[in-house]
Structure 1
Amino acid sequence: FYVLTVMTTVGYGTFVPVTQGGRVATILFGFWSIFVSSFCIGAFVAYLDAYMDQLLSTMWEGCSPRVAIKCKALCTGLLFVLHGSGLAIFAALLPHNRWDAIDALYYSFVTLSTVGLGDLSVSSNSV
């Protein structure tokens, strides 16, 4: 059950690692299993990808290449800003929660990968 919740990034929080070794194992297994399950789901996504390619090519057909490039660059930049701000928040909250580096890395992984087991949370008085 725990393996499937990590592998599929569902993360119910029913079972959580309580030791440093368990958290490291969750990170390592999570990276590997999320990659493998993503690869398996890729067969289904291939169909959706073809559909989206057709839809986007129709959408960009009426735009000039210059406008299309600006829109794509803006979207890419926003992704970097969102991810960067998330990492900055995690780094800023690290000393306030008295977490060690493994706890912070584990919290970042389960949050950013959307596993979200719920065993660690930011304390309300540290924000």
Structure 2
Amino acid sequence: MLKQIPKVLSPELVKVLMEMGHGDELVIADGNYPAAANAQLLVRQDGLGVPELLSAILTLLPIDTYVSSGIALMSVVEGDAEPAIWEEFKTIFSQQSVENDSLEFLERSAFYERGKQAYAILATGEEAIYANIILRKGVVK
């Protein structure tokens, strides 16, 4: 047991976060995302939702500020409404002092292709659609 490590972060996930270097990306995927098919490194987080995991990860992981956007979301398909979960993400960003005015939105296929290059994909049990997010690791200053 360690101090100040959020309890939802497993030892395996903390190890992954420690191994990542500046510019490495992490996908936090909802339950519909093809995580196993796309992952170079798959970390199962089935009992957790994306907001809970995102909030915990952001307590440890710096977001890259040397690029135009260190955070990417999957764009909504034409005709679909903006997902309510995005408001939860914005609240989390605010609580963690993460700038959310430079979010990048990627078309679904482009998001999947970028996800294939990620250092790791976290497969959650999140049921909300469009809950997928890519975090680009920054540097500790």
Decide which structure has greater strand share. Answer: 2
Same fold (TM over 0.5): no
Decide which structure has greater helix share. Answer: 1
Bigger Cα Rg: 1
Structure 2-normalised TM-score?
0.29
